Amino acid sequence: MNENLLSKTNFPVFEVYNNLVYLDNSATQQKPKQVLDRAEKYYREENANPLRGLYDLSVKATDAYENARVTVQKFIGAKSNREIVFTRNATESLNLVAYSWGRANIGEGDEILVAISEHHSDLLPWQLLAKEKGAALKYLDCDISGEYTVDALKNALTPQTKVFAIAQISNVFGRVNPIKEFAEICHANGTVIVCDGAQSVPHIPVDVQQLGVDFLSFSGHKMLAPMGIGVLYGREELLDKMPPFLSGGEMIEYVTREGATYAELPHKFEAGTVNVGGAVGLAAAIDYINELGFELIEKRENELTELAFGEMKKIPHVNIIGADNAADHHGILTFTIDGVHPHDIAAVFDSENIAIRAGHHCAQPLHQHLSVQSTARMSLAFYNDEQDIRRFIETLKTVRRRMGYDD
């Protein structure tokens, strides 16, 4: 554990924007200099096209890339580095599953079950697949606190349910879903479970074997790493049987005029020149998180969530979406203010140099389910501090007045 790593002073963006209160961490996190330095070092000292060059520098690039894969493998407890596929982001990871596994395994009359709170990236690939294959797309509803029950899942599964897609933490509610239990129920039904870890992997320890999920997706940029690098974990026996997603260079074994044999896992799914700078940046981000330790990360994030939640509850006309306790929010506080449109809320915060998100957070069906048009969201990370939360609360108190209301 290294408490110094909690500090904003590790993040160069706050030297440039020294008055910025950044509370849009669920959208993307800021990058510590340790990560930026590592990515830059790759391009300065190790850059070559990896996985093919027969010279020293290319071997260095290959090592950097493959070592990053092992770092990711250990970080999420995967059995083998063959189970770690680098992608651009969680969205691409989920598309890969839907296109490759989905097209090969889902047919007419089959059912696809998707949690209603899923981000559009974990919904649209399934919606398209269902249309293409004549499969039925069904939704698992949550209650207004964002809770999905084991019973509801059991009732929703049928012998035709081929796949269940759900995030470990919803980007609107911040609540942790009982993925381990859900995976057991799915497997007993012969259903594959696809878990989106975009909001969980940066904030809580995630072990894919312990959870028992078949696939896990996440994005590097939401966990201190550069944009453009993401991960798909897949159980080896599933990945092995899946056809390629994208095709091209570096994913083949042998190509003739008529056909091709494909490279071994995970390269079968990594067509074209890969993002080594992103991968080593992600590995550096994981090193940073490991050195800090999830114990400290969770303690800090939970304390700040509790402070924000408690103060928000005291402000009239402010309504928090989801659970009525801070512990079930994990740094994500989505809210509305009576009579004020979320975009206007965000604009008021922006005028005070506070960055929050407003809109439907790429979860329109959930907003329809909750009967709200759109919402505002503050989402924090360990590098936020008490002062950030105080400034957020002070501004929150003024929003209605600044929009012309008397109270």
Q: Does 123 bind another protein (CB under 8 A)?
A: no
Nearer to another protein, 204 or 362 (CB): 362
Give the Cα separation of 278 and 59 in Å (integer).
17
Q: Does 340 bind another protein (CB under 8 A)?
A: yes
With CB under 8 A as the contact rule, the residue among 347, 385, 390, 391 that binds another protein is: 347
The contact mask relative to another protein for 10-29 (x = CB under 8 A, - = no) is --------------------
Give the Cα separation of 41 and 226 in Å (integer).
14
Q: Does 259 bind another protein (CB under 8 A)?
A: no
Cα atoms in the Cβ-side hemisphere of radius 13 Å centred on 239: 25
The contact mask relative to another protein for 271-290 (x = CB under 8 A, - = no) is --------------------
With CB under 8 A as the contact rule, the residue among 41, 120, 187, 341 that binds another protein is: 341
Q: Does 80 bind another protein (CB under 8 A)?
A: no
Q: How far is the CB of 58 from another protein (least distance, A)?
A: 43
| Residue 153: both structure tokens together | 């899942």
| Residue 179: both structure tokens together | 């993925």
Give the Cα separation of 161 and 186 in Å (integer).
9
Cα 109 from chain centroid (whole Å): 30
Give the Cα separation of 350 and 345 in Å (integer).
9
Give the Cα separation of 209 and 216 in Å (integer).
11
The contact mask relative to another protein for 156-175 (x = CB under 8 A, - = no) is --------------------
Give the Cα separation of 125 and 355 in Å (integer).
30
The contact mask relative to another protein for 355-394 (x = CB under 8 A, - = no) is ---xxx---x--x-----xx--------------------
Q: Are 132 and 98 in contact (CB under 8 A)?
A: no
Query: Which residue in this structure is represented by tokens 């990053």?
Result: 68
Contacts 24+ apart (CB under 8 A), 52-57: 52/250
Give the Cα separation of 135 and 126 in Å (integer).
10
Nearer to another protein, 127 or 364 (CB): 364
Q: How far is the CB of 360 from another protein (least distance, A)?
A: 5
Q: Does 337 bind another protein (CB under 8 A)?
A: no
Q: How far is the CB of 403 from another protein (least distance, A)?
A: 6
Nearer to another protein, 156 or 348 (CB): 348
| Residue 268: both structure tokens together | 């079968």
Give the Cα separation of 97 and 272 in Å (integer).
18
Catalytic residue list contains 142? no
Q: Does 295 bind another protein (CB under 8 A)?
A: no
Which residues contact another protein (rule: CB under 8 A)? 340-344, 347-348, 350-353, 358-360, 364, 367, 373-374, 402-405
